[in-house]
A = this chain, B = another copy of it.
Amino acid sequence: MQAHQLAEEIPVVDVDSDALTAARLIADGHLLGLIVDHHDGRPYTILPAWHVVQFLVPQYIQADPTLAAVLDESDADKIADKLSGVTVGKLVGDHPRELVQCRADDTLLEVAALVAREKAPLVAVMDADELVGVITVDRLLHATLSC
């Protein structure tokens, strides 16, 4: 089995697209994250769901989560407002994580080796510069156990 046979589609967003829309894509699709395209149309990073949550939670509360308990619940419920007017590029930040990539003709074991080494929940399957799709780790495990 080769990587392209395991690949599935995932929403791709541009760095200039709206962060709130991107966050909704993740939430509504029950996704681990999204692939983010650079201006040149090439996928260059992943926006994981937890990263969006990290962006929403004020720094002082991340440093001491017990402070979250003293916030008024109505304030706490408005944290998503922080995404308004923000781009995906801003959300990703200046140091985007490297997108773990494999080639379309990589074997199951090659993909597994990548997942194991990078502790990656998701691998982008590339055919030259073109995104074929992604392989999630549960899907990889399913294929491995079915051999």
Using a CB–CB cutoff of 8 Å, the interface residues on chain A facing chain B are: 1, 20, 23-24, 26-32, 48-50, 52-54, 56-57, 61-63, 65-69, 71, 73, 76-80, 106-110, 112-117, 119-121, 136-142, 144-145, 147
Name the B residues within 8 Å of A137 (CB-CB).
Answer: 48-50, 53
Asked if B76 contacts A30 (CB within 8 A), the reply is no
Closest Cβ neighbor of A54 among chain B residues: B116
Tell me the interface secondary structure of chain A in the complex: helix
| A53–chain B nearest beta-carbon distance, Å | 5
| A77–chain B nearest beta-carbon distance, Å | 4
| CA of A143 to CA of B145, assembled, Å | 34
Which of B50, B114, B116, B147 is close to A78, meaning CB atoms less than 8 Å apart?
A: B147
| A56–chain B nearest beta-carbon distance, Å | 6
Asked if B80 contacts A116 (CB within 8 A), the reply is no
Which of B1, B31, B141 is close to A53, meaning CB atoms less than 8 Å apart?
A: B141
| A32–chain B nearest beta-carbon distance, Å | 7
